[in-house]
Amino acid sequence: MKKSLFLYLFIIAVLMNVFTYKYFASKGSEEINKLKIENKKLNDSTLVMYNKSVDDNAFSLEFNDRAQNYLNQNNLAAFSEKVKQALLAYNDDKEGNKYVDQTKVGEQKFIINKLKILNHRWIIADYSNGELWGEVLIKYFVEEDQSITFETMDSYLYPQQLN
């Protein structure tokens, strides 16, 4: 009797181990498949973000070889910073930045918040006076004495939204 009890307990223990092993083995393979699918999704989204980054940089001085050759600058980062600072210096005018093509409204003057140098000739900029926002396309020129002059090509002021 004692022998058969141990035999039955042994068989039950073996069966429990077999079923437990099968359960965790299948659960592990399911988890591996889920991780593979998730990894594929992440790789796809990384590729999408990379392609978007490449597309966004298509209109950028840093990635435009023809514009760089035209400018013939050794230090492109320093040149870009020089152009940026030259344009942002006009924000200090009491009437606001004259290249946003907008007049002062009340006490608020229009200033350029951010800009992007598109190539050897154009800049796109975002401007506001704290209440109204707009965008402006500016043409810039590098003179013989390496000074930089600007000319407003077009400007758009977004209508004020009522809340």
Residues 139 and 70 in one domain: yes
- In whole angstroms, give the CA distance from residue 48 to residue 163: 36
- Is 153:139 a contact under the CB 8 Å cutoff? yes
- In whole angstroms, give the CA distance from residue 133 to residue 150: 21
Note the pLDDT of residue 163: 60
Please state the pTM of the whole predicted model: 0.66
Residues 106 and 151 in one domain: yes
- Is 143:87 a contact under the CB 8 Å cutoff? no
Name the residue with tokens 């992007």.
116
- In whole angstroms, give the CA distance from residue 155 to residue 149: 17
Residue 156 backbone dihedrals phi, psi, to 5 degrees? -140, 125
In a domain, 119, yes or no: yes
According to DSSP, the residues that pair with 153 across neighbouring strands are none
Residues 40 and 77 in one domain: no
In a domain, 163, yes or no: no
Residues 127 and 102 in one domain: yes
Q: What is the domain extent for residue 152?
A: 61-157
Which positions of the chain have pLDDT values less than 70? Answer: 162-163
Note the pLDDT of residue 34: 86
Where a domain ends, among 42, 58, 74?
Answer: 58
